[in-house]
Structure 1
């Protein structure tokens, strides 16, 4: 049995493995069986969706200009990998740039809404009004301002990804428990320390929840920009396939878009789990 130790400040502490009088230091968790099972179920669900889709095409045998099966779409991907890879890279760049801009501006704007009642009174209703405008209607405006290149698509993606981060940042900062605010006041913490040590730390899980929504929306925003004025990217691939009634190419682009959005979602989710470990332990 280990004996208690006395630290330099005079407080008695038990060793990490002390069975009496102290609590054992928590050991790092290994991936749980539940997490592995959830991943397996997700893969099975996606594969099952493709199987059902292919079976419906085989059973009902629709004409190819109405519907094709996933096997035709995957065959198109295998036949022209370079074509889809180059256009995927373009859309991915636009989506990531829009997501980065939307995240930065969304967090700053959400913080401004929380810390300034004046900004909140004037800006919050305006933001809601702007968010109700369909982003397809805003896309031509961005093209007028920034041209037909990369920038206009990135700004369309930013406009779509921006709002969830504003709301989630504002809600996260506003939901700090009253007890923590009183503790900061009693200890005479400065506004900067209160903001960085309590409020933003408490709001990080909410910000990541908004980011998981925004990253998928950013991919859609990039495609919207390519629909309006694109000469490359997956949005352009879909438009070109539509004009040629080339459904295998169109569905191949749909599958790639879904894969991109899903992969980015899980990357953001993984980053949130690593940066906010206390949220997982609280469950």
Structure 2
């Protein structure tokens, strides 16, 4: 990696925290960002498809941010920035329509290199049924070395992370805000444990607050990291199913837990099953499905 390019990219991402797709026209014209400081607001306006006043502010902010010791500051706070050119950047994320330009990591970034990752997700209003389902699903996956990926939200996400930790497994939390604004506050202790002993990821610079449109974007990273996705409980219209939409777009395996037909939280998984998701009620079924698919490819 080119150190100078990385410093410029981090400065740009700090003031313009957009996905790689949004930056591609600029990078195509200026691959190492060496000319960015000298570009006119009009050039930035055209390359980034932004308004002139935004381009003027962006140029001024970028030049100012270049004077910051960003890398040293991140290191001081145990934040590892992982650009799309970094060796730890997961190749599976580059297959997304709009890959993150930079990931910010706290914890054991080596987990990103592990191939066996599966997401376990569900409703923020998940009931005790999700917890019971995870007691059946997560242990076999951990036994076979899978890392459990989820979104650190209240409800099913927190259950998945906590169950994994309790069983001595490894987990990755993907969040929708910067590290200075951990969210939600209810999961602060869990967040700290994952930062210290597992891995927390975000595509947002540390100052970014948890804005509502960050979370649908966060969901594509959960999907992109994972080989497959297990859904416990979810409403038909929910953020959980938006994660599934990302997963389907990229050919991921979808597993859904059947539930009580009288529960609204079962309607999401039942809809997925009716559309072709694999119904599962223990982790061995997920593993058997992967063994079957592997055998078919041989």
The TM-score, its normalising length taken from structure 1, stands at 0.27
Q: Which has the higher contact order (CA 8 A, sep 6+)?
A: 1
Q: Which protein shows a greater Rg?
A: 1
Structure 2-normalised TM-score? Answer: 0.26
Choose between structure 1 and 2: higher helix proportion. Answer: 1
